[in-house]
Amino acid sequence: MFDFFKNLRERWDNWCGDRDMEIAIRKHLSLNGYYGRSAKLKRVRLVAIERPGWLQVYRFEVSARVALDEELEGVATVEAEYHDLYGLVKDDLRHKISVVRVFKCEKERRELFARWSENLVCLRGAHGLSS
C-alpha cells in the first residue's frame, strides 16, 4: 500500500499539467539532438510570474536519450546514452510564445533564470531557483 502512494506522489510530482508546454519542450529536445518524444520530464514548476499572469517562467528537469547518427542507427551494439538536463520555459500567453532552453549544468540555468526573472515575482524556497 505504501508503494502505491509513493508511486502516486512521484507521478504527481513529475506531472507537467500543460500539454502545450510539454509539446514545446519535447519539440525543443528533438531539434537539439535528443529523442524528445521519449524524454522523461521531472519537477516541472512555476518559478516566476509577471502580474497579471501573462508572462510565466517554469523550471524543469529531463532525462533524454541522445539521438543516434544515421550511420549508427543500424548497429545493434550501440549502447543508449542518456543525459540529465536542466531547463527553463518562458511562456508568454499574450503572444502565444514559448521559449525553451535546456542545459547540462544547473549553474547555466540559474544564470538564464536571473535574466529572465528580472522584475518578476519569483517563488522562493525548495521549488524555486534561489541560490
The CATH code of the domain that includes 36 is 3.10.450
Residue 113 above 80 pLDDT?
Answer: yes
pLDDT band at 71 (very low <50, low <70, confident <90, very high): low
For the chain, the maximum distance between any two Cα atoms, rounded to a whole number of angstroms, is: 53
Quick check: is 40 in a domain?
yes
pLDDT band at 131 (very low <50, low <70, confident <90, very high): very low
Residue 104 above 90 pLDDT?
Answer: yes
Quick check: is 129 in a domain?
no
Quick check: is 16 in a domain?
yes
Q: Residue 82 sits in which domain range?
A: 2-71+78-122
β-pairing, 121-122 with 82-92? unpaired
Q: Which grid coordinates belong to 14?
A: 513529475
DSSP conformational letter for 54: T
Task: Quote the mean pLDDT of the chain.
Answer: 83
pLDDT band at 14 (very low <50, low <70, confident <90, very high): low
> What pLDDT sits at residue 127?
56
- Rounded mean pLDDT of 7-29? 78
- Number of structural domains (the chain) is 1
Q: Which grid coordinates belong to 59?
A: 523550471
For residue 121, the cross-strand partners are: 49
- Rounded mean pLDDT of 57-70? 88
